[in-house]
Amino acid sequence: MLTRALMIAALIAACTPPADDPASTARVAPAYEAGWPFAPIDAAPPDAAPDAAPDAEPDAETGDWPTPRAVFTTPGYLQIGTFNIDWLGARFESEFTPRNAVDYAMIARLLVEWDIDVLALQEIEGAAALDLLGLPRHWRAVVGRSGWSQNPAILYRSDRVTLGEPREIHLPDTTASSKDPLVVEVTPLEGGPMFTLVVVHLHPYGDAESTAYRAAQVAHLHQWLDDGLPGAPPPRWPVVLAGDFNDSIEGIRRGQTALGPLIDDPRLTFIEDECPDPTELHFNSRIDHVIASAELAPVLRPPPGEPACTVIHFDETSPYADYPGGYRDRQTISTHRPVFAWMRSIMPN
């Protein structure tokens, strides 16, 4: 019988295209869509209903939850963000990031509270993992297929935007520990500009070899943005790249960043000047980014009184930072913080 280490190695090898395979240079692979409404999580604790107001209580006699709170929307504006949920498993107490129903309910509550209209997700174990969250019925999702058990995904408000045909772009330097970008055209229903969303999850780790590997991925991603790759035409601009890049603008390895081609491209802007807070908790680094093309500058505006960009400090905010009853009896939401930016969903005059 194979040991666990050998089994994981075998799975990684099976997910890695052969170097001499012409199809490994680039391919467009289908993704699949999960359609909901969700059923609520039966085991959700009384203080963590996924679609109820934060201070809601079940009826004392019937145990029924109150009508879900009004959905938060800001007419004329969209929120676009990214969140690595840290290996969201398709079952409770999964092997790699064990959580229980309380943890899943708190993740759902966080998503409902912030109600981000278009959210790039990373490390999702298929549509079944999202089904466990029991989210409100106005949300839909597209989940990629290339990431073994850590797929990229897009969670979106179906009453705010429509999505085109999803596809995955295979970068030549992609293995099971990093994921093919998930690509889809997003159209705001209020008449704002269509844009192409690219969900990114690059190779991890800060050693020299990993940094070089990640730099090769960025080079091919940038090439695809410009000229396409064999079998994968370039995207329609404007574009928004969002996800876990596993690197910062300054560089997580002694000032060496793998993001140079994206940083140096005058057509692209890292939307974080107004929210430079760290997004990765273990290393206190900013590796989760939202990057937009210059054509979107006229609509990258927040509503009055809101910052242009927000990092959600759930790990420092009750109830997410200190809830009881989770798998580890402390927050098991993620080692990453969500980050989002605002965009006008109506074309300005």
DSSP states along 129-165: HHHTT---TTEEEEE-SSSTTSEEEEEEETTTEEE--
**For the segment 271-288, what is each residue's pLDDT rounded down to a tens digit?**
987 788 999 998 889 999
The larger pLDDT score, comparing residue 57 to residue 41, is at 57
- Cα–Cα dist 251/248, whole Å: 5
pLDDT at 58 over 60: no
pLDDT at 337 over 80: yes
Give the three-class secondary structure for 101.
helix
**Amino acid code (one letter) for 145:** R
CB within 8 Å of 304: residues ≥ 6 apart: none
- Cα–Cα dist 96/116, whole Å: 27
Q: Which of 107-116, 170-179, 261-270, 306-315 has the lowest mean pLDDT?
A: 170-179
pLDDT at 3 over 60: no
CATH classification number, 27-44+71-344, choose in 3.40.190.10, 3.40.50.920, 3.40.50.1010, 3.60.10.10:
3.60.10.10
> How many CB atoms are located within 10 Å of the residue 315 CB?
15
The larger pLDDT score, comparing residue 94 to residue 150, is at 150
* Tokens read off for 288: 């989760």
**For the segment 61-111, what is each residue's pLDDT rounded down to a tens digit?**
554 434 333 345 788 999 999 999 998 988 887 767 789 999 999 999 999
Residue 235: its pLDDT value, please? Answer: 94
- Contact predicate 240/228, CB 8 Å: no
Q: What is the DSSP string of 259-297?
A: -HHHHH-TTEEETTTT-----BTTTTB--EEEEEEGGGG
Residue 215: its pLDDT value, please? Answer: 93
**For the segment 26-56, what is each residue's pLDDT rounded down to a tens digit?**
333 344 444 433 333 333 333 434 344 444 4
Residue 72: its pLDDT value, please? Answer: 55
Cα angle 241, 334, 114; round to 5: 65
- Cα–Cα dist 7/4, whole Å: 5
User: Of all helices (H) and strands (E), which one includes residue 218?
Assistant: helix 208-227
- Cα–Cα dist 192/28, whole Å: 27
Question: What are the residue boundaries of the structural domains of the chain, listed by start?
Answer: 27-44+71-344
pLDDT at 2 over 90: no
pTM (2 d.p.): 0.81
Calculate the average pLDDT of the chain.
79
- Cα–Cα dist 296/60, whole Å: 50
Q: Which of 8-12, 145-149, 180-184, 308-312 has the lowest mean pLDDT?
A: 8-12
Give the three-class secondary structure for 91.
coil
Residue range 182-193: mean pLDDT, rounded? 95
Confidence band (pLDDT; 50, 70, 90) for 320?
very high
Residue 251: its pLDDT value, please? Answer: 87
Residue 62: its pLDDT value, please? Answer: 53
